[in-house]
Structure 1
């Protein structure tokens, strides 16, 4: 069983609307991201996570996103193992996202 908390797409949208201080990381591949991303999300492909997270502050809150929630859960678990204390996974991924998209 994973140690990662899951957050619903609606909760992510609520956090965005409340201007909460958190970072969304989209771990999908380039061609998936070209179909639309959550506004203000950072795109870091899953395969790039090990090298790219070195530059991310560990005390920030992160919400990980992919297409269905599986790859982002793997990324969240990897980050947690590397000392990131506040990492959540968006349940259901972009398949469940009802909010605005940016291209």
Structure 2
């Protein structure tokens, strides 16, 4: 599900089951992240799928990338794997107005 930054943040901040996923490359991740994000590179193919499958399906996943395209794809993949709550940050970190921290 695509969410605006405002909706993504407000849901994230009120969700005790929230997990933030950054699906960018390791290099992009090292340039700065949304606090507490876990990096799982969507471009890593089967490794990405294996890492996603190891996650708790009971949690709610807030996903972002650079522009929102890869994270939208990650949400689709997660839905196919049986995750019900995967939320894409529309516009990605490029349009993020919140704090960016070092990983």
TM-score by length of 2: 0.86
State the distance in 2 between where 1:32 and 1:101 align.
12
Please give the per-residue CA displacement for 1:56-100, whole angstroms capped at 9, x wherever unaligned: 111211111100011111111001001001111110101110111
Unaligned runs of 5+ in 1: none
The answer to whether the Cα contact below 8 Å between 2:24 and 2:41 also exists between their aligned partners in 1 is yes
1:17 shift after superposition: 4.1
Shift of 1:16: 4.4
Q: Secondary structure at the match of 2:88?
A: strand
What is the TM-score of this pair, normalised by structure 1? Answer: 0.86
Q: Which runs of 4+ in 1 moved over 6 A?
A: none
- Alignment length, in residue pairs? 99
CA RMSD of aligned residues (A): 1.5
Query: Superposition pairs for residues 33-48 of structure 1, below 5 Å?
Result: 33-46=29-42, 47=44, 48=47
